[in-house]
Amino acid sequence: MKIWVDADACPVVIKEILFKAAERTKITTTLVANHHIRIPPSKVIQFMQVSSGFDVADDEIVKRVAENDLVITADIPLADEVITKLGIALSPRGELFTKENIKPRLNIRDFMDTMRASGVQTGGPPPLSQSDRQAFANHLDTILMRYQKSKIS
């Protein structure tokens, strides 16, 4: 298992949770972004800078993700591609994307894009709350514990 982070829009507090988890579990964690992101000195935490452009970071993650890798992203189309490649997709708000819930999420996303394109102001997501952070940390711990147990078995 590797952890891939769609880091361009990932909140700092979520990155900090990921840094601690990477060090604790010794799972390679790579942040992918089109601008420089500071990471702590570590043997397991890496940064990959990609060129600017629409979905360049997403495309790089999809190219490199393998079965059972974990991808941290709020991007629904990226999450769909990760699930198709049998990876695990988790949003920074703690929502676990699955093959059961990803298609409805894609439909809602596409509908909202259509609404915005027609001039309807839909607003953005609310700020990351403490409960969002806790949901993320809980799901992350569950995924990592499941992985650690499967390595032992």
For 5-62, how does the pLDDT look when each residue is reduced to its tens digit (9 = 90+)?
Answer: 999 889 999 999 999 999 999 999 999 999 999 999 999 999 999 999 888 999 999 9
Cβ–Cβ < 8 Å for 42, 24: no
Q: Where are the domains of the chain?
A: 3-152
For 101-146, how does the pLDDT look when each residue is reduced to its tens digit (9 = 90+)?
Answer: 888 788 676 666 776 777 877 676 788 999 999 999 999 999 999 9
Fold (topology level) of 3-152: Rossmann fold (3.40.50)
Tell me if the pTM is above 0.85: yes
Q: Encoding tokens for residue 56?
A: 């360049």
Beta bridge partners of 71: 4, 89
For 63-113, how does the pLDDT look when each residue is reduced to its tens digit (9 = 90+)?
Answer: 999 999 999 999 999 999 999 999 999 999 999 999 998 887 886 766 667
Cβ–Cβ < 8 Å for 1, 70: yes
